[in-house]
Chains A and B, each alone.
Chain A
Amino acid sequence: MSGTLSLELRELVRHYTSDAEVVRAVDGVSLTVAPGELVALYGPSGSGKTTLLLLAAGLLAPDRGSVWFGESEITSLSAFESARFRRREVGFVFQSFHLMAGATALDNAALKLLGDGWTLRDARRVTRPWLERVGLLERADHTPDRLSMGERQRVAIARALAGEPRLLLTDEPTGSLDSKRGREILTLLRDLCRERGIPGLLVTHDPQARAFADRVHTLRDGHLSEGLDAELAMSIA
């Protein structure tokens, strides 16, 4: 199933209170990611990048503003609808992988499909090619404790892609990979967005990601700006 829907963040605001101090994690961010477009989002640690991804995925409710995916307002979905949106529409790669300890790489990659009533056999069949695309087929039967950090990250990527999502949200997908493997994954993500016409939002520190993204933005102190700001440009150069 190909997607032709765009992701639109409208005036999003999300503040935290920590020890009586207000942290403006996301402060009036608006951003549109068009179908087939991969947008890279850079920012220093604590700038609100992950919060923005969680807002986009419907995992976090904004204080103000809204998130739209095509004609659907994600921020107005019920908890049940929001869960179904993530399960069926979103491919989400997390910085800390969130793999299930006792399940094999293949079963971890198939996990989302199981939540939709698939049999494990069918889910494995559909997932296996994605595991192959991230170069992990020979490790399909290994549990996470027997995989390296990079391999775990690739399992998480295969899991995000296996459900053929219509929106791709990735948080440091190359953070644990070497440069060569990182390029391969970035290529895969870019190609996937283009081939399938789906929007992708890529939160990253990886300097080489710029080359794969259609657009680059910087998030600093909750505010979004186009391109890399000077400070970041120097730090990742």
Chain B
Amino acid sequence: MSRPAFSFTILGLRPTLLFRFYGWRLRRHTAQELLAGGGIAVGVALVFGVLVANGSLVGSAGKLLHGLVGSARLQLVARSSAGFDAQLERTVSGLPGVGVAAGLLREDAILVGPRGRKSIQLIGMDPNILKLGVLSSQESNPEASLLARGLVLPAGVASTIGVRRGDALTVLAAGRAHPAPVSAVISGGPAGAATYGTVALAVLPLAQELTGESERVTEVLVRPLPGADRLVAAELERLAGGRLDVEPADNELRLLNTASKPTDQSTTLFAAIGAMVGFLLAVNAMLLTVPERRRFIADLRMQGFDSRQTRLILGFQALLLGIGASLAGIVLGEVLARTLFHQVPVYIAVAFPVSAKQIVHVETVLVALGVGVLATIIAALPPLLDLRAKRPTDAVFQEARGDFGHDRPMVLWLGIAGLGVIAAVTVLALAAPQLTVLGGMALALAAVALIPAIFVGVVGVLERACQGIGGSMLVIAVNELRSTATRSIALAGVAALAVYGSVAIGGARLDLIRGLDNAFAQYLGTADIWVTSGGNNLTTNAFRADGVAAALLRAPGVASVRTYQGAFLDVGEHRMWIIARSPEDTSMIPASQLLHGDLGRASALLRGGGWAAVSEGFATEHGLRVGSLFTLPTPSGPVRFGVAAITTNLGWPSGSIILSSSDYSRAWQTTDPSALEVDLRPGVRPAQGRREVLRALGGDTLGVQTLAERERQYDRNARDGLQNLGAIATLLLIAAALSVASALGAAIWQRRARLASLRIQGFDHRQLWRALLLESLILLSIGGIDGVVLGVYGHALASRWLQLTTGFPAPFSLAGAEILRTFLLVAVMALAVIAIPGLRAARVPASVGLQE
């Protein structure tokens, strides 16, 4: 026969044939491909969604910040919201080497409009700012807007409070209310950086008037002349005199990076475990297809396709599946990033004017695509073992000789490998806690590796049990398990992964929530009523309180009023949460958050002054122990404190420092409170006390909350900060349960011929259906128990890692009820989903058994 003339081929195969082979495969094995692709897509979606969400926070904040600072390269920054004399801007302008200097006033405020209120950062800008190119590309002519005395609002903010250009709104700042007109609403356009932020822009004098900070600014942006950066920085340092900071103009990004890092790390840990579980789900789904793909290899080899051609055909199929599944995963991840993961956590928003604009980098897409394709190709490898040089007939005959589940040495080795991985993970977690993220992923592998040994053991026990139990159900179920051991092990593996991922992630998340709830309950529990500047914050916004305390004390239900002071303080790369408590507070340090030191002694030291409780991350970074001395860069200059105790980060990722309000007043040179703690007389109910406090204040410029209300707000914020983790845990549970159900359903459906042969033997469909459900239950139990045991270990490791690496309070506690709920949810969902295909499969006509 004449061979074809020259044509373009790869290893002797025409490229179109590669597609044709996959088309043939899809036609016959659509469900299996969807199952495998679904597992890959879930993993890719989690990775992509988290990468985009994490990258977007800092990325969009970067755009916003660069939009605000323009071409400035340095800044002179105040260490408190009280700022410094605006005259300093003129001094800076006159320094040698300075090209442009522009003053800024930043103050947290609340905008009140007809539709609601919104916490924002009010930014007053010196007209010089235009020389830095700030907002020059605004489509709505910002120069004109800024010059017109009014506020420039991002469209999102304007929409939230229901105002448009020309409308009036109320600005609540520093405990005062001022009316102000809206001079422009910016939306769209490249500037848009600001469009998405929670900021309001104004000319400096207006901002000063609204905040009561006349003739003051909080920073001066500086653009040095070319080559004069060092000179200008040195001059600024001299001018700062140890009371102000000299930083790069985009320093806030570094601070935000540090603040968002622990949350990003937590999310990444969860996403990594989720992705590993997703990948292994896909591997297991592919394992279900191993017998069929080995037959395919055998067919090809017997027809004379050589091993390279076979690898090419299978590799190409894996590539197509990987690309398709990864693209689906990227689309799903994009949806996740836009919906579940897109919000800026409130706790970050209170400290940084960040935006929620989603930014997708090409690199992120490529990484997700690469990971997905690689995972698919790895998952598709096992059948290619049949192409080993000295095993030419495995593909043809090994299937007939035995099943993987009966390969005792392989089962034993896998079991030993699984135990080895657990031991290695333990050593790794003890020696290098920061690598626990790898441990969490390795445990997922161990969960799968142990399944064959557990399966063989359980089936052996059930075989013996069959001899003493009447009825056919268990006998059929056990026989079916034995005769489809590879498939059964893969299914139990899917169940194990489902439970493992859900238990590990869900448990760690619960630990975090419990830890944060405890921290906030004890932090807030020092007062019955909290009076603050309002809005959603960490009690860091100071307000004028002249005569307020006295007025409150005159209210009939009020027993006492104490001053609470707090602020953010930038120390190195950390925006620290400063908590300054009245020495009269019942508790200075939340007891549950104490890591090192004696609570009673530390509290006494704090009350006496000169001592502070610092969070562990800060202590570690500065080499501090209880009793050590350290220096804080306060607004009055460097101040020395002793370390009275070391705590968790109290839920603020960058870390916290607790000191007494008397120390704070001295160092920050202010007596303005950021909250007033009100104790009620015995018998006065919180709601009644709240009404009396409001009446005594005579207006709503300040926020008044009962202890319960404030706890709820903090708890909401904590959960909001962990919403990505919650979303991942929920998604994983749903994906896992559906994977188990669909894998079981598909496996049952593929076995109709075997079921038909049982019907020929006289079994009715009810017997077969019950046997199928029992078989599924046995598999779910094998996988579930394995998943629970390793999931609890994974949970403990994840919680330990969260505490050690992120500083969050997340003490491990066994969540028995949650574990049971997870297991039952997976089992019930899976059994409910497979009940229908199971019944239909059990009703298969007996004649099908004769056809095959």
> Which A residues form the contact surface with B (CB < 8 A)?
1, 54, 57, 59-61, 79-80, 82-88, 90, 92, 94, 98-103, 107, 111-112, 114-120, 122, 126, 143, 145, 159, 163-164
The chain B residue sitting closest to A80, CB to CB, is B306
Mark interface residues in B538-560 (1 if CB within 8 Å of A CB, else 0): 00000000000000000000000
CB–CB B14/A83 < 8 A: no
Q: Which residues of B pack against A, CB within 8 Å?
A: 1, 3-4, 7, 9, 12-14, 16-17, 20, 23-29, 295-296, 298-309, 389, 392-393, 396
Tell me which of A54, A94, A107, A118 contacts B393 (CB under 8 A): A54
- New A-B pairs, 4, CB < 8 Å, besides A84-B306, A98-B299, A159-B303: A1-B1, A101-B24, A111-B303, A115-B309
Report chain B residues within 8 Å CB of A1. 1
Inter-chain CA distance A116–B305, complex, in Å, is 9
Pick from A88, A103, A120: contact of B16, CB under 8 Å: A120
Closest B residue, CB atoms, query A83: B306
Known: A117-B7, A117-B12. A102 touches B28 (CB 8 A): yes
A81 vs B304: C-alpha distance in the bound complex, in angstroms?
Answer: 10
Check if B302 sits within 8 Å of A94, measured CB to CB. Answer: yes
Does the CB pair B24–A107 fall under 8 Å?
yes
A84 to B306, CA, bound (A): 7
- Give min CB distance, A192 to chain B, whole Å: 13
- Complex contact A115–B302 (CB within 8 A): no
Residues of A within 8 A of B305 (CB): 83, 87, 115
B299 touches A115 (CB 8 A): no
Instruction: Assess the A102–B23 pair: CB atoms within 8 A.
Output: yes
Residues of B near A116 (CB, < 8 A) are: 3-4, 12
Minimum distance in angstroms from A77 CB to a CB of chain B:
11
Given known A98-B299, A115-B13, contact A90–B393 (CB-CB < 8 A): no
* Chain A residue nearest in CB terms to B27: A102
Residue contact A164 to B304, C-beta cutoff 8 Å: no
* Contact indicator B396/A54 (Cβ below 8 Å): yes
Min Cβ gap A53→B in Å is 11
On chain B, the residues within 8 Å of A102 by CB distance are 23-29
Per DSSP, are chain B's interface residues mostly helix, strand or loop, or mixed?
Answer: helix
What is the CA–CA distance of A159 and B302 in the complex, to the nearest angstrom? 12
Could you list 17 A-B pairs, sorted by A, with CB under 8 Å?
A: A59-B302, A59-B392, A86-B304, A88-B304, A101-B28, A102-B28, A107-B20, A112-B304, A115-B305, A116-B3, A116-B4, A118-B14, A119-B7, A119-B14, A120-B16, A145-B28, A163-B1
Q: How far is the CA of A86 from the CA of B392 in the complex (A)?
A: 13
A82 to B14, CA, bound (A): 21
Closest to A79 in B: B307
* B303:A117 contact, CB within 8 angstroms: no
Contact A114 B306 (CB under 8 A): no
Instruction: Return chain A residues, CB-CB under 8 Å to B9.
Output: 117
**4 A-B pairs with the lowest CB-CB distances in the bound complex, closest first:** A87-B304, A83-B306, A102-B24, A86-B304
Contacts of B393 in A (CB 8 A): 54, 59-60
A126 to B1 CA separation, bound complex (whole angstroms): 10
Q: Decide if B392 touches A117 in the complex (CB within 8 Å).
A: no
Chain B residues within 8 Å of A86, by CB: 302-304
Select B302's contact among A61, A88, A92, A143, beta carbons within 8 Å. A92
In the complex, A202→B255 CA distance in Å? 81
Set B1, B17, B298, B302: member contacting A120, Cβ < 8 A:
B17
Q: Contacts A114-B14, A116-B12; is A59 near B299 (CB within 8 Å)?
A: no
Q: Are B27 and A90 within 8 A (Cβ)?
A: no
B704 to chain A: closest CB distance in Å? 71
Chain B residues with Cβ under 8 A from A57's Cβ?
302
The complex places the Cα of A7 from the Cα of B3 at a distance, in Å, of 23
**A61: B residues at CB distance < 8 A:** 392
CA distance A102 to B300 in the complex (A): 14
Q: Which residue of A lies closest to B295 (CB)?
A: A98
- Are the CB atoms of A59 and B306 closer together than 8 Å? no
Tell me which residues across on chain B come within 8 A of A115, comparing CB atoms: 12-13, 300, 303-305, 309
Rounded to whole angstroms, the CA-CA distance of A161 and B296 in the bound complex is: 21
The answer to whether B13 and A117 have CB atoms under 8 Å apart is: yes
Residue contact B304 to A85, C-beta cutoff 8 Å: yes
What chain A residues lie within 8 Å of B28 (beta carbons)? 101-102, 143, 145
A92 to chain B, nearest CB (A): 6
Q: How far is the CB of A156 from chain B (nearest CB, A)?
A: 10
